[in-house]
Amino acid sequence: MPETQRFEGENIVVTYNPQLCIRSAACGKALPDVFNSLQKPWVNPDQSSADNVAHAVRQCPSGALQFERKDGKIHESPPQKNTMRAVKNGPLQCAGQMQMLDAFEKIAQHLTRAVFCRCGLSQNKPYCSGRHAEIVMNDEEEDTDNDKPLSAPKDTPPPPDAPESEPHGPVQIKMAPKGPLLAKGPMEVCDNEGKVIAVKKTAAFCQCGNSRKKPFCDGTHINPKSL
C-alpha cells in the first residue's frame, strides 16, 4: 500500500494518500501554483496562503488530500450531514463523518470525503479508481421493483424527515465480501444534482454496477448470470 505523503508549509501541512486519489485534478485547477504534477515536490503549500490551500484541499472529492493548520486555525471538520451522492454514470461521492471499518468491525480510518466504486471494475475497492470512464454505465435502467429512483423528480422537495431534525452522527462504512458497500448511520442519499432521494439509517450501495435499484444494491451480484 502506498505511504501517505506529507508536504510541510510554514502555516499549513498537506497530506496526500495515493490510494484514495481518483485523478480529478480539482486541486490543480483550484491552485496550480501549489499543486503541480510537473514539479518536484508536486505540492508546495507556501506558494499561496494557508486559507487558499485549505480551500483547494477541500475541493478534492476523494479525500486523498487533507490538511493540518499550523497557525492556530482549526483543521478540517466534517459537514454536519452525511451525504451520499450518486454521480450520474459514475461513483458514489460521499462527505461527512465517515468511519471505515475493517474485516473485524474495527474502525480503520476516519474520512470526511470519499469516492466509492459503483461500476464494479475498480482495482481499489471499495474506493473508485476511475475505471467507470472505460465503460458505458447506465443509470437510466428501469426500476422493476418500484424502489427509490436514482434521480428525484424535478422540483420535488426532500422527504419530510430529511431536514435538520434528522440526528447527526458518524456513518460506519464497510464493504461486504464480493458484495455491496454497507453503511450504517444517519445519511442523506442524493442524486447527481444533489437532490435528496432518500434518508437512511442503514443502506447497501451497489458496487457491481448491475443493480436495477441504483444506487442501492438489489442482490444482482449474487447471481450475475441471471442478467
Report the sign of the C-alpha dihedral through residues 187, 188, 191, 194, in that order. negative
Residue where the block lists cell 442519499 = 189
DSSP 23: -
Task: With CA atoms as reference, report the closest residue to 96 among 113, 74, 116.
Answer: 113
Q: How confident is the model at residue 152, as a pLDDT?
A: 40
pLDDT (tens place) for every residue of the chain, 227 residues total: 578 999 999 999 999 999 899 999 999 999 999 999 999 999 999 999 999 999 999 999 999 999 999 999 988 888 889 999 999 999 999 999 999 999 999 999 999 999 999 999 998 999 999 888 887 777 765 443 434 444 443 443 444 444 444 557 999 999 998 899 999 999 999 999 999 999 999 999 999 999 999 999 999 888 755 44
| Cβ atoms within 10 Å, residue 66 | 21
The C-alpha atoms of residue 103 and residue 126 are separated, in whole angstroms, by 13
Q: What is the pTM of this model?
A: 0.82
Would you state the pLDDT for residue 188?
Answer: 96
String of DSSP letters for 121-184: --TTTTB--SGGGGS---TT---TT----SSPPTTPPPPTT-STTSPP--EEEEEPTTS-EEEE
Adjacent-strand bridge partners of 65: 16
Question: Nearest Cα to 203, choosing from 144, 148, 163?
Answer: 148
d(CA 160, CA 158): 6
Domains in the chain (CATH in brackets) are 5-69 (3.30.70.20), 83-156+164-226 (no CATH)
- Give the bridge partners for 111, in sequence order: 98
Residue 161's pLDDT is what?
Answer: 47
Q: Report how far Cα 129 is from the mean position of its chain's Cα atoms.
A: 12
Q: Which pLDDT score, from 0 to 100, does residue 140 have?
A: 66
Q: What is the pLDDT of residue 178?
A: 86
Beta bridge partners of 86: 92
Per DSSP (E only), the strands in 42-159 are 65-69, 83-86, 92-101, 107-116
